[in-house]
Chain A
Amino acid sequence: MDTAAAAAANVVALDDVTVIYGKNQALKNVTARFTKGAVGLLGPNGAGKSTMLKALLGFVKPDQGRMTVLDMNVADSPLAIRARIGYMPESDAHIPGMNAVTFVAYCGQLAGLPPVDAMQRAHEVLQYVGLGEARYRNVETYSTGMKQRIKLAQALVHDPDLLFLDEPTNGMDPKGRDEMLELVRDLGHNKGVSLILSSHLLPDVEYTCDHVVVMDKGQIATQGRINELKGPAGRVYELRIKGNLPGFIEALAKEGMDTHATDEDVMRVFVPDALGGHQAIFRAAARFGVQVRHLRPSVPTLEDVFAKAIGED
């Protein structure tokens, strides 16, 4: 992909961005690219994810660096950018004293939609996020899960090209969480809405996103396609044997295969490509005289990528 094509594929770009709150550097010389589609912004609490989103929205002025959203400079065109993005904040947020449909329509009008269109869109997006039945209820009477949905609805009402979702599953019960993730996945994969999903929950990002940017302590730890970051599958195996376990581990090590204990009696065996995959394990087991009771490829998870990126074992 040439440079121009690469730039066109990016919806958000940060170059050497630093944000300082008092004495605390929330973002340190961050350079990152967010491609079209669904991108996860992953990191532990305090990593700088929300600060990055707020800087992109223009809420926080960076002390250094340049940011572009949808090919527009954040410093020069904040209003034009905000007209094309939707933001779902992390904390509870609503306009007091309004029912859901009035609130969402009001947000649509604030984004420039004519009143009639805004009201029609409000009904549609409330239906889409699953609040169709509760749309005439005052937002202040909503449960936590419903409040998360209404925040998504207000972010969607003006049909943004790009969505910033800050911890969208916070405080939701398992069923509600699954439904929210389904919505996010649908938006990112079927509805042509690019989105940045900020979360500290690895499964959420893994389920909904294709790309990930991992942050830690205000810096980018790693970024790229999730599948590529996880590495090729099948080179790591989960193995359980019957027989002399310490001796067999030693035999595997002699042949160049590392083993790592996991929970219970299953271990992970790393087989170098040169040894020919799982056959190498069977050959070693046959030679050493142990029974292979369980063997299956172990797919690296985003958790592995995350742990490696932020330097955890």
Chain B
Amino acid sequence: MPIHDQSYRHYGGGRALPGRSWMVIAWAGIRAFLRKRVFLGLMLFALAPVMVRIVQFWIASQYPQASVLSPTAETFRQFLEQQDFFVFIITVYVGAGLIANDRRANALQIYLSKPLMRTEYIAGKLAILFFFLCLVTLVPALLLVLMKVAFDGNFLFLKNNLFVVPAIIVGSLLQVIVASFTMLALSSLSKSARYVGILYVGITFFTTAMFGVLYAITGTSRVSWISITANLTQVVDVIFRLKPRYATPWQVSLLVILGLIVLSVSVLERRVRGVEVVT
């Protein structure tokens, strides 16, 4: 009798009910990125502005003569806008290969032959990008609110600006959701992460450049709906109760954003399949 049977053995342990695989996908993806030093460096760099803001808040709370540094609701909007750059970089770095690499390695048929639905696969992949984008927008913004309250030693700021926390949550999530869905949809279109990255950068810059050209020609910012970033800026401004900076009605910008999300979902629905049917 062998000391240890190295032949095939049947499994007698427990199994999780279907519906949790998206967490397995998300966790595996998050861990994969956290193992990359370059990415960790990028994340630290993205969180550097938070440190600057914390110092600013502390000085403002400690030294009355520095009250010019004291944060207002607009400060948090400015912070989120500042983080747009990092949202862009992280979206390209993390998101470009999320589905494209799986398509290159024919991994979709491996995933979808397991007891998980396509929506779970997409949710798992979205969660990876969502997690990292929230880590540079929503989480630090809420942390800043917390620091402001802690440095002040009272809730006066929150009482006077009740809308700030909901605005941070909605504004950040809007930024994160648009970036995540758009990038994931693009990632599902190709087998090359590099191509997807270039495509995303191209679309972002092209729409912004188009807006710039039309603005220069027409002299009005009513055409800002052409630019994805301008639409986001417009809507998030409104969420923070600021005067919209473009002439396009914010409702139009919101519609464009929602349309973009619907289009992305539609692309994902068509592209994430166990078999690619070429007719």
Contact = CB atoms under 8 A, between A and B. Distances in A.
A15 interface: no
A93 B105 contact: yes
Contacts of A24: 279
Contact of B106 (A83, A85, A89, A159): A89
Interface stretch (A27-35, A123-131, A229-237, A302-310): A123-131
Interface stretch (A36-44, A103-111, A247-255): A103-111
A95 B110 contact: yes
B22 to A, nearest CB: 10
Interface stretch (A54-62, A170-178, A272-280): A54-62
Interface stretch (A67-75, A112-120, A198-206, A259-267): A112-120
Contacts of B105: 92-96, 140
A85 B109 CA distance: 13
Contact of A121 (B11, B273, B277): B11
B18 A79 contact: yes
A268 interface: no
A40 B28 CA distance: 36
A23 B279 CA distance: 8
Interface residues on B, range: 35 or more
A93 B107 contact: yes
B72 to A, nearest CB: 45
Interface string A188-224: 0001110000000000000000000000000000000
A128 B7 contact: yes
A59 B279 contact: no
Given A21-B279, A23-B279, A113-B11, A59 B109 contact: yes
A89 B109 contact: yes
Interface string B11-35: 1011111101100110010001000
B52 interface: no
A82 interface: yes
B114 A54 contact: no
Given A60-B275, A95-B110, A112 B8 contact: no
A111 B15 contact: yes
A71 B225 CA distance: 54
B47 interface: no
Contacts of B24: 106, 109-110
B11 A159 contact: yes
B110 A124 contact: no
A188 to B, nearest CB: 11
A80 B28 CA distance: 24
B13 A128 contact: no
B8 A191 contact: yes
Contacts of B13: 113-114, 117
Contacts of B65: none
A124 B115 CA distance: 22
Contact of A96 (B104, B273, B275): B104
A22 interface: yes
A114 B7 contact: no
A57 B275 CA distance: 10
Contacts of B48: none
Contacts of B97: 96
A187 B106 contact: no
Contacts of A140: 105
A89 B32 contact: no
A270 interface: no
A79 B115 contact: yes
B274 A54 contact: yes
Contacts of B7: 128, 191
B61 to A, nearest CB: 45
A271 interface: no
Interface in A147-196: 154-156, 158-159, 186-187, 191-193
Contacts of B14: 114, 117
A91 B16 contact: no
Given A79-B117, A112-B17, A95 B109 contact: no
A111 B114 contact: yes
Nearest to A166: B109
A154 B102 CA distance: 16
A125 B8 contact: yes
A111 B115 CA distance: 6
A107 B110 contact: yes
Nearest to A93: B106
Given A110-B114, A112-B15, A187-B8, 9 more contacts: A59-B112, A83-B18, A93-B106, A114-B16, A117-B13, A124-B9, A128-B7, A155-B113, A192-B10
- The 6 A-B pairs at the shortest CB distance, nearest first, are namely A22-B279, A59-B274, A159-B11, A87-B113, A112-B15, A93-B106
15 contacts: A22-B277, A58-B274, A59-B109, A59-B273, A60-B277, A82-B113, A83-B115, A86-B113, A91-B109, A93-B110, A109-B24, A110-B114, A124-B6, A191-B8, A193-B8
